[in-house]
Chain A
Amino acid sequence: MRVRDTDWEGVRLHVVTGKGGTGKTTVAAALALALASGGRRVLLIEVEGRQGIAQVFDCPPLPYGERKVAVAPGTATRPGGGEVYALAADPEAALLEYLEMFYNLRYAGTALTRLGVVDFATTIAPGLRDVLLTGKAAEAARRKDAGGFRYDAVVMDAPPTGQIGRFLNVTAEMSGLARVGPIRSHADTVRKVISSPATAVHFVTLLEEMPVQETLDGVAELTGLGLQPGGIIINMVPPPLGLPADQLRATAGGAVDTAVLAASLKAAGIDDDGRLAADLATELIAQAQTITAGKAQRRRLAGAGQPRYDLPLVPYGMDLAGLYRLAAALREQGAA
């Protein structure tokens, strides 16, 4: 039964990537909140060992264990609140868990750790590390308990755009190392989940040239690898200036009538020291240029053919209220 229409119906694993500085972790957290609203249970996984989720939700560092970090709001159709769980996945713990799950070899864990087997996994075979981390997310997305799926959705705060193809393309990474064997078949299973329609990779970007370029490159790369690119989430969109299009263009070109501005300032009772109107005009021109440049980037993003969502610029020092605002914006636009 479909309760609501979203653009990602049927997607159980949401992978969120983005260039450094675009707010990838914040957006992943907001997406988890949005997906959880209306009484759903969502797991948010981080894989880079940065404890970014704990910072976003303002809670103590996460252990290797699924822990509830937030309550999501209800919706009109489903008034009950939802839950966001979080997990800081770490390859060492994932490896030990894997050994226990498939080989009942937990006892060997200590010896393996002491001998540097885990160093081995994370150092010499990056493909192995990635397969363990993506494997953990894939496992959580498919895990079932008495009531059906344990989580309605899993959101992964994944590595940055420049590394996402390699990170997700686990089979290829492993194929050079392990052509046969149990790790290889584990990689193949993970690959099946990652490349299935139940997984989507979302890109977080800003309306700036470099992040947009990396997003377009990333979408093309994933498509080439047979993975499903998801939405493009445009973060920190500045509020509109509220000027008609032709005036915005003129302003970006530097044409601001400071006499008009000065007259208005006077009408508002603000003393102009003779420079204030001109200084405000300078600020206005710079912002008009930023917005105009952003429009050009928006057109480039449209070329990727993926759904796009706008998130407003929330003043720095993003707090929980800001996070809920972003989650609401994602829901309103159909991303969750």
Chain B
Amino acid sequence: MTGVPPPLDVDGLLRDRRTRIIVCCGSGGVGKTTTAAALGLRAAAQHGRNVVVLTVDPARRLAQSMGLSSLDNIPRPVPHVSGPDGGSLQAMMLDMKRTFDEIVEQHADPDRAAQILANPFYQSLSSGFSGTQEYMAMEKLGQLRRSDTWDLIVVDTPPSRSALDFLDAPQRLSRFLDGKLLRLLTAPAKVGGRAYLRVLNAGFGMVTGVLTKVLGAQVLRDAQTFVSALDTMFGGFRERADYTYQLLRAPGTSFLVIAAPEPDALREASYFVERLAAEGMPLAGLVLNRVHELPAARLSAARSLAAAETLQAADDGAQDGAGGHALAVAALRLHAGRMELAASERRLAEHFTAAHPHIPVVQIPAQPEDVHDLEGLAAIGESFLRA
């Protein structure tokens, strides 16, 4: 039979002062933001920690669940949070363009910075590049950590199109900024100056020819201007990307993979778990959200359905159409359906544990309604207890 996973001690993790960063990752729509907010609230209110929750979700869900009307690039205190030991909770939403602008301004002199900020390629890169959000989230995490203002940072990661984006983004961006193509674009000024470029020279004319043909001369010119302007900043970018990457692997950082008991979400969760292990990232465990728990689980689906049919038949046979079992029929049919759902959720969770037997798991029961207030977040926090 399938083994039972070790319980994930979330409270232990939140209580431990050595835990400085918690990264919540998982596919979209599994309650990642809500979980991050619930973790932050519990750490502040129950364990007296000074917490900041960083969310990158453009849907402003955290803002809603924390009762804030808007979040910006600056941490704002969440009102009405008080713990026995003077804990506090702040929340912020990532403004990726502003974060990027600030890095540029820090690393370039004012003239050059202005030139970069005005370039159409920079504007596209800083507001649209699918990895920029991930990269800037990690950059912001690094900034928050460096400021040492909070003793716990909870990060909600972007809903990446694939699990890889989030870990890859920093390196992908620095690889790109360092890449052959960019060298090529800046090459007219330095062709022949570097050994590896000489190797590429044969294809050089053709490639710029093709680029001009496809993109147009103006696009190529903009790209070249952009790259030359950025040239001086490459070192700074790579250094920051490396710092963030090391920060993620450092003691004091814990990853939580968030999933719902659905095939897609658990497949993605498996992927995350394997990827984190491969990168040597510290994984604390799996938070399985929205598990359907049934108070009357001792009544099987089959018996429930059979009883519903018996009662329905009795009602149908009653002379005046009022056998009086309508309520029980509704309850028993519902229960049978819920039992089947719970059984398939259990199977999915067992598959995950069979593949990853040592990963601790905590299950969070499905909430009857959306969580959009602190009370709801606190209730989720309570279910961490029961692990």
Contacts and interface: CB of A to CB of B under 8 A. Distances in A.
Interface of A: 19-22, 48-50, 52, 55, 99, 103, 105, 108, 111-112, 115-117, 119-120, 122-127, 159-160, 162, 166, 173, 176-184, 208-210, 213-214, 239, 241-243, 247, 256-257, 260-261, 263-265, 267-270, 273, 276, 279-284, 286-287, 289-290, 293, 315-318
B114 interface: no
Interface in B127-150: 128-131
B231 interface: no
A112 B74 CA distance: 42
Contact of A267 (B59, B294, B325): B325
A283 B296 contact: yes
Identify whether the interface residues of B are mostly helix, strand, loop, or mixed. helix
A48, A243, A257 pick with most chain B CB within 10 angstroms:
A243
A19 B223 CA distance: 34
Contact of A120 (B58, B181, B296): B181
B4 interface: no
Nearest to A102: B214
Contact of A269 (B128, B206, B307, B335): B307
A315 B344 contact: yes
B325 A264 contact: yes
B215 interface: yes
A5 B324 CA distance: 44
Contact of A280 (B161, B219, B296): B296
A243 B348 CA distance: 32
Closest 3 CB pairs of A and B: A21-B29, A181-B216, A20-B28
Contacts of A293: 368-370
Interface string B300-315: 0001000110110010
Identify whether the interface residues of A are mostly helix, strand, loop, or mixed. helix
Contacts of B308: 268
Contacts of A108: 206-207, 210
A52 B162 CA distance: 11
B307 A116 contact: no
Given A209-B372, A290-B368, A280 B216 contact: no
B335 A177 contact: no
Given A267-B311, A280-B332, A289-B369, A243 B326 contact: yes
A21 B368 contact: no
Interface string B367-387: 011101000000000000000
Given A210-B59, A280-B299, 6 more contacts: A50-B162, A103-B214, A115-B207, A257-B327, A273-B298, A287-B334
Nearest to A18: B29
Contact of B334 (A55, A209, A284): A284
Nearest to B328: A264
A263 B323 CA distance: 12
A243 B263 CA distance: 32
Interface residues of B, number: 84
A198 B290 CA distance: 39
A268 B311 contact: yes
B242 to A, nearest CB: 19
Given A111-B207, A124-B125, A280-B331, A50 B161 contact: yes
B124 interface: yes
B263 A317 contact: yes
Contacts of A242: 326, 329-330, 333
B124 A176 contact: yes
A282 B299 CA distance: 14
A159 B161 CA distance: 8
A243 B265 contact: no
A330 B108 CA distance: 56
A205 B184 CA distance: 46
A24 to B, nearest CB: 10
10 contacts: A20-B27, A117-B210, A125-B121, A125-B124, A208-B370, A242-B330, A243-B330, A261-B327, A284-B331, A318-B263
Interface string B26-64: 011110000000000000000000000000001101001
A279 B296 CA distance: 5
A13 to B, nearest CB: 21
B314 A267 contact: yes
B172 interface: yes
Contacts of A119: 176, 179, 181
A242 B333 CA distance: 9
Contact of B121 (A52, A124, A269, A290): A124
Given A50-B161, A243-B326, A177 B337 contact: no
B295 A177 contact: no
B326 A183 contact: no
Interface in B93-133: 120-121, 123-125, 128-131
B352 to A, nearest CB: 13
Contact of B128 (A116, A127, A317): A127
Contact of B335 (A160, A260, A283, A315): A283
B260 A284 contact: no
Given A50-B162, A178-B218, A241 B330 contact: yes
B128 A239 contact: no
Nearest to B131: A123
Interface in B320-356: 324-335, 337-338, 340-341, 344-345, 347-348
A105, A116, A160, A289 pick with most chain B CB within 10 angstroms:
A116
B25 to A, nearest CB: 13
B170 interface: no
Interface string B245-273: 00000000000000011111101000000
B277 interface: no
A201 B124 CA distance: 25
B26 to A, nearest CB: 10
A239 B337 contact: yes
Contacts of A284: 327, 330-331, 334
Contacts of B264: 52, 55
Contact of B28 (A21, A241, A243, A263): A21
B229 to A, nearest CB: 13
B124 A127 contact: yes
B180 interface: yes
B162 A180 contact: no
